[in-house]
Amino acid sequence: MPPPPGVRPPGGPAGQQTARVPQGPPPDQPTDVVSPVRGGSGRNRSAPEPELLTHREFEDGYDDYDDPDSRYSEPVLTDEEARLLRRKKIWRRVRRTSYVFVALMLIGPLVAFFIAYQMVEVPNPERLADRLDKTVQITYAGGTENFATVAPKGRRTLVKCDEIPDPVKRAVFAAEDATFETNEGFDITSIMRAVWNNLKGGGGGGSTITQQYVKKATGNEDPTLTRKALELVTAYKLSNTTDKTDILCGYLNTIYFGKGAWGIVEAAKAYYGVALNQITDIQAATLAGVIQQPGRAAGDPEWVEQRWNYVMNKLVENKWMEAAKRANSVFPQMVDNKDTNAGMTPDMQFIWAQAKKELEENGISEEQINRNGYKVELTIDKAAQDAAKQAAEDVMRGQPANLRKALVAVDPTNGKVIAYYGYNEAKNGIDFGKGWYNPGSAFKPFDLVAFLHKGKGLGETFDGTSGRKFGGITIHNSENDDCGEHCSVAKAMELSINTVFADIGYNQTGLKAVAAAAIEAGIPNNIGRQNMPLEQTPDLNIVIGGGKYVATPLNMASAYATFAANGTKRSPHFVAKVTNPNDGDAVVWSGDESLSQPQQAFSKSDAAENAKIARNVTESLIPVVNNTRGGALKCIEGRQCAGKTGTHGCADTAKTSKSDNCAAWMVGYTPQISTAVWVGSDDNSALKNKQGRIIFGSGLPGEIWKKFMDSYLKGKEKKTFTKFTAIGLSPDQAKTGESKTDDSKSQTSPSQTSSGTPSSSTPSSSDPTSPTKNTKTPPTLFPTGTDRDNPNPRDNDDFGR
């Protein structure tokens, strides 16, 4: 069959059969062609017309790149699929990066730990003990007049390691590091627990005894991660290269125990006046307990006893003491170290103790102060301090032996404590300036703040008669006196009418609002020895500062300073600044900068409203000073003063009667100073003056306050309070009969309170503002008192017996 047209027949020309020749083109074949892609078979092995390189075909005879159904073509993705694909690629990169990062985190610290381990040096206790502490200079405010100089005591007395009694060792382990004998220099469980506590806002460093020893030995106590990391490495190396007994020995020979005692030997002498080998296990708990904050040991015996209880409980917990022995143990009485701070009188020692406590709370320990020879400038004004001491001693001279007194003065413009006098000769070691006492009617201004928050003012009227009931509780005014059925708030404050303020707190504002107002002014939320939250289910006692509601003279002076400063609150403080004389007097810490920051107390967002509330309180307190006892408390030179007296009655016991008072206050201020004076007793006994009469706030406390204020203010600038703008009804409107109808006087059950408690005719245990459960025989508060030396008998504020 002839070939199709245009196709060359096989073989040579004219269809001849040609002989087979070797593969490859003949010598005269053009070089622009290549061998065929597919060869023939059998007799048809000759290649067809070769194709150009740019049009080479696939073996299946067609170009499937152009075929949309081909298995080699790229799939067409939807937008959602493309997004998911991109996301998948991103997360793949993130995972791979994370793996690298985690690997570096694991390997990096190991490498750093190994390098640091080779470089750190373990401390030498003998060399450390040879380093003497430097002289510390303490000055009054301004830094020019010397308050006291604390000189170094001399070298520590070193104890040999085998001479440390076992009771001392166990007490230290219980207090600081129960796993000391078995850990590797650090305790990962304690570290994690400390981290967790700090994240929750608590405290605790999680350091072992070995870590603490390293920190004290190096003198580096910076709160940095680098320092902590090096401390941990050094502690680990020390633990692996030094016997545990030697570490404990070096630690106890090095650390400060307070009361001027460096090392455990001196601590045994300072606290119990005995040699170390005579210390009992009960006494050892005291020495171990003060290691945490040694600066508080000299001036805070209550804290020392708290720490003793903690260590004793830990000894039982770790089976180092029998529970029966613990139950029968009492806190061992410490010896009195009168020369602990040579050159300081007892009242000066109380001030220095407060300053050290403040510095400790802000990261500067007494040990650091002594080791570095810091200079400490106090906020105490020498003239003010001298005036406080003179006033307190002059007024109380010749008074009954059971009476105690305290005076604290604060500068409202900056929060500085300018005078602090809590010394009482009969109780030399007790600072009454920091004691917790019922403030009585001196708490009433906080009731008024809550009332002003509701937009109601001094011209509002209430039933001021005595013997009114609130939730089943009968309330009396002193001597059952009253200011009528339409008594204005202003007049109730001046005359200290209990029923009006009970009505305000119980029926108008709610008791939680009163607590909140006190906190706004500067009363701490956690008050008293029980550290009780002020806002937690308050009872009716809060309106008059009775029952469980207590405050220190410093609290009251500071809170009233907020009123004096037109609603600007500042933290009271004792230390102006700490400087390092070895570094060009560089400032180490400044209380003036850290603690004097102003805050709007009564309105965070409205400065005008904040100032107006404070000024309305002041307006209500001016008549108290001017009218009490015929104006006996008026400030010198016609100055503007405001203040409030307060008393708290005694419980009816074999030694006291319901008419007796057990605490009396006078708290008052001018624009440049706020002063609180307390008179009471250390055994809560009845207060009688040398004439045998009951003591009220306007009595001995008022006399001390007046004498101090006149002495301090004499010759100083006469500053005045700002212009008064009434909130709600003014006092004048009440006097002219323009006051609103009093709809509260007939109420005997609480309306809805600010805390959301619904109305109830009978208070129940579920009502957070109810003072007590209703009983068949309602309790009586404010029973009749006998006021024989005060022309203003309404100041007998004996709520909360």
SS3 content of the chain, % helix, strand, coil (to 5): 40, 10, 45
Catalytic residue among 441, 659, 698, 739: 441
Q: Which bin fits 6, alpha (ψ -120 to 50), beta or left (φ > 0)?
A: left
pLDDT at 654: 59
CB count within 10 Å of CB 203 equals 8
Report how far residue 767's alpha carbon sits from residue 765's, in angstroms, rounded to the nearest whole number. 5
Q: What is the pLDDT of residues 259-309, one digit of tens each?
A: 878 889 989 998 999 999 999 999 999 999 999 888 888 778 889 999 999
Report how far residue 234's alpha carbon sits from residue 214's, in angstroms, rounded to the nearest whole number. 7
Which tops the pLDDT comparison, 153 or 201? 153
Which tops the pLDDT comparison, 627 or 506? 506
Report the percent of the chain where pLDDT is more than 70: 70
Residue 3: pLDDT band by 50, 70, 90 thresholds? low
Position 795 pLDDT exceeds 50: no
pLDDT at 159: 85
Residue 675: pLDDT band by 50, 70, 90 thresholds? very high
What lies within 8 Å, CB to CB, of 463 at 6+ separation is 485, 486, 487, 499, 500, 503, 742, 744, 745, 746
Report how far residue 617's alpha carbon sits from residue 359's, in angstroms, rounded to the nearest whole number. 34
Position 651 pLDDT exceeds 80: no
Report how far residue 717's alpha carbon sits from residue 707's, in angstroms, rounded to the nearest whole number. 18
Position 33 pLDDT exceeds 60: no
Residue 535 appears among annotated catalytic residues = no
Position 784 pLDDT exceeds 90: no
Which tops the pLDDT comparison, 204 or 107? 107
Report how far residue 328's alpha carbon sits from residue 377's, in angstroms, rounded to the nearest whole number. 45
Contact 469, 778 (CB under 8 A): yes
Report how far residue 156's alpha carbon sits from residue 268's, in angstroms, rounded to the nearest whole number. 13
Q: Which bin fits 94, alpha (ψ -120 to 50), beta or left (φ > 0)?
A: alpha
Q: Which of 234-248, 445-459, 496-510 has the lowest mean pLDDT?
A: 234-248
Report how far residue 131's alpha carbon sits from residue 677's, in angstroms, rounded to the nearest whole number. 45
Paired with 417 in beta bridges are: 410
Contact 492, 462 (CB under 8 A): yes
CB count within 10 Å of CB 51 equals 13
Nearest to 515 by CA among 490, 532, 492: 532
Work out the mean pLDDT of the chain and round it to a whole number. Answer: 79
Residue 156: pLDDT band by 50, 70, 90 thresholds? low
Q: Which of 270-274, 455-459, 671-675 has the lowest mean pLDDT?
A: 270-274
Tokens 């001018």 belong to 670
Q: What is the pLDDT of residues 580-616, one digit of tens each?
A: 998 889 999 999 999 888 999 999 999 999 999 999 9
Q: Which bin fits 664, alpha (ψ -120 to 50), beta or left (φ > 0)?
A: beta
Report how far residue 790's alpha carbon sits from residue 666's, in angstroms, rounded to the nearest whole number. 14
SS3 320: coil
Report how far residue 602's alpha carbon sits from residue 570's, in angstroms, rounded to the nearest whole number. 13
Catalytic residue among 176, 231, 460, 494: 176
SS3 227: helix
pLDDT at 561: 98
Residue 323: pLDDT band by 50, 70, 90 thresholds? very high
Q: What is the pLDDT of residues 50-89, one digit of tens each?
A: 544 444 444 444 444 455 555 555 667 788 878 888 888 8
Amino acid at the residue 94? V
Indicate the pairing of strand 136-139 with strand 375-378.
parallel
Position 14 pLDDT exceeds 70: no
| Beta strand residue intervals within 656-716, DSSP E | 661-670, 673-681
Q: Spell out the SS3 assignment of 68-96.
A: CCCCCCCCCCCHHHHHHHHHHHHHHHHHH
Tokens 């059952």 belong to 480
pLDDT at 781: 42
Tokens 């069959």 belong to 1
Structure tokens at 50: 């070769």
Query: Angle CA(427)–CA(431)–CA(432) in degrees, nearest 5?
Result: 90
How many CA atoms does the CB half-sphere of 581 hold within 13 Å? 14
Structure tokens at 596: 């004097």
DSSP annotation of 499: H
Contact 292, 307 (CB under 8 A): yes
Contact 663, 680 (CB under 8 A): yes
Tokens 């937009």 belong to 455
What lies within 8 Å, CB to CB, of 52 at 6+ separation is none
Position 727 pLDDT exceeds 70: yes
Q: Spell out the SS3 assignment of 398-417.
A: CCCCCEEEEEEEECCCCCEE
Residue 441 appears among annotated catalytic residues = yes
pLDDT at 769: 35
Dihedral sign, Cα of residue 266, residue 270, residue 274, residue 277 = negative
